[in-house]
Amino acid sequence: MKVNIKLGKKNGCCETMPSPISNTTYYPSLYLSGEKVELPNSGEITLKFKKVSETKSTRDGETHFSVELDILEICEVEGKEENEKEDSGDALDKLKNEAEDSEEEDD
Protein backbone atom coordinates (compact mmCIF):
# COMPACT_ATOMS: atom_id res chain seq x y z
CA MET A 1 0.00 0.00 0.00
CA LYS A 2 1.46 3.37 -1.01
CA VAL A 3 0.48 6.25 1.24
CA ASN A 4 1.50 9.87 0.70
CA ILE A 5 0.33 12.10 3.55
CA LYS A 6 1.42 15.75 3.78
CA LEU A 7 1.95 16.47 7.47
CA GLY A 8 2.79 20.19 7.58
CA LYS A 9 0.31 22.33 9.52
CA LYS A 10 0.06 26.12 9.83
CA ASN A 11 0.12 27.61 13.34
CA GLY A 12 1.38 24.36 14.94
CA CYS A 13 -0.71 22.02 17.02
CA CYS A 14 0.98 22.77 20.32
CA GLU A 15 1.44 26.53 20.49
CA THR A 16 0.83 28.00 23.92
CA MET A 17 -0.12 31.46 22.65
CA PRO A 18 -1.99 31.79 19.34
CA SER A 19 -0.22 34.01 16.86
CA PRO A 20 -2.39 36.50 14.95
CA ILE A 21 -0.38 36.05 11.75
CA SER A 22 2.04 33.21 11.12
CA ASN A 23 3.37 31.81 7.87
CA THR A 24 5.39 29.11 9.61
CA THR A 25 4.59 25.51 8.74
CA TYR A 26 5.10 22.96 11.53
CA TYR A 27 5.87 19.27 10.98
CA PRO A 28 5.79 16.28 13.35
CA SER A 29 9.23 15.09 14.41
CA LEU A 30 10.84 11.66 14.26
CA TYR A 31 13.64 11.05 16.75
CA LEU A 32 16.06 8.16 16.24
CA SER A 33 18.26 6.99 19.10
CA GLY A 34 20.65 4.13 19.58
CA GLU A 35 22.77 3.31 16.54
CA LYS A 36 24.49 6.16 14.69
CA VAL A 37 22.63 6.84 11.46
CA GLU A 38 24.33 8.63 8.56
CA LEU A 39 21.61 10.62 6.81
CA PRO A 40 21.73 13.47 4.27
CA ASN A 41 20.41 16.88 5.34
CA SER A 42 17.18 16.32 3.41
CA GLY A 43 15.66 13.70 1.15
CA GLU A 44 13.27 10.78 1.18
CA ILE A 45 13.38 7.77 3.46
CA THR A 46 11.63 4.40 3.47
CA LEU A 47 11.05 2.82 6.88
CA LYS A 48 9.72 -0.45 8.25
CA PHE A 49 7.66 0.21 11.36
CA LYS A 50 5.22 -1.31 13.82
CA LYS A 51 2.33 0.72 15.25
CA VAL A 52 2.55 0.64 19.05
CA SER A 53 -0.43 2.84 19.91
CA GLU A 54 -2.97 5.19 18.38
CA THR A 55 -4.91 7.89 20.23
CA LYS A 56 -7.84 10.10 19.23
CA SER A 57 -8.94 12.95 21.48
CA THR A 58 -11.25 15.94 21.23
CA ARG A 59 -10.48 19.28 22.86
CA ASP A 60 -12.45 22.47 22.38
CA GLY A 61 -14.32 20.89 19.46
CA GLU A 62 -11.13 19.93 17.60
CA THR A 63 -10.13 16.31 17.04
CA HIS A 64 -6.44 15.46 17.52
CA PHE A 65 -4.66 12.22 16.63
CA SER A 66 -1.36 10.74 17.74
CA VAL A 67 0.38 7.55 16.72
CA GLU A 68 3.43 5.94 18.31
CA LEU A 69 5.58 3.86 15.98
CA ASP A 70 8.51 1.56 16.61
CA ILE A 71 10.95 2.09 13.73
CA LEU A 72 12.16 -1.40 12.86
CA GLU A 73 14.43 -0.66 9.92
CA ILE A 74 15.59 2.14 7.64
CA CYS A 75 15.25 0.51 4.23
CA GLU A 76 16.21 3.19 1.74
CA VAL A 77 17.48 6.76 1.87
CA GLU A 78 17.67 9.15 -1.07
CA GLY A 79 18.97 12.64 -0.62
CA LYS A 80 21.64 15.20 -1.31
CA GLU A 81 24.28 16.70 0.88
CA GLU A 82 24.46 20.49 1.02
CA ASN A 83 27.55 20.62 -1.20
CA GLU A 84 25.98 18.54 -4.01
CA LYS A 85 24.51 20.55 -6.87
CA GLU A 86 21.08 19.90 -8.35
CA ASP A 87 20.68 19.66 -12.09
CA SER A 88 18.26 22.18 -13.64
CA GLY A 89 15.46 19.61 -13.98
CA ASP A 90 15.61 18.74 -10.27
CA ALA A 91 15.64 22.43 -9.34
CA LEU A 92 12.57 23.13 -11.50
CA ASP A 93 10.73 20.11 -10.06
CA LYS A 94 11.52 21.31 -6.53
CA LEU A 95 10.20 24.82 -7.28
CA LYS A 96 7.03 23.38 -8.86
CA ASN A 97 6.38 21.15 -5.83
CA GLU A 98 6.95 24.04 -3.41
CA ALA A 99 4.49 26.21 -5.36
CA GLU A 100 1.87 23.42 -5.35
CA ASP A 101 2.38 22.84 -1.60
CA SER A 102 1.98 26.57 -0.96
CA GLU A 103 -1.28 26.64 -2.96
CA GLU A 104 -2.65 23.62 -1.02
CA GLU A 105 -1.82 25.25 2.32
CA ASP A 106 -3.62 28.44 1.30
CA ASP A 107 -6.85 26.49 0.65
CB 10 within 8 A of CB 105: yes
pTM of the model: 0.53
Mean of per-residue pLDDT scores for the chain? 77
- Rounded to whole angstroms, how far apart are CA atoms 56 and 63? 7
- pLDDT by residue (tens digit) across 32-72? 888 787 889 899 989 999 999 999 999 999 998 889 999 99
Instruction: Quote the pLDDT of residue 94.
Output: 73
The average pLDDT across 9-14 equals 60
Of 8, 6, 82, 72, nearest in space to 39 by CA: 82
Instruction: Quote the pLDDT of residue 50.
Output: 94
The average pLDDT across 99-104 equals 70
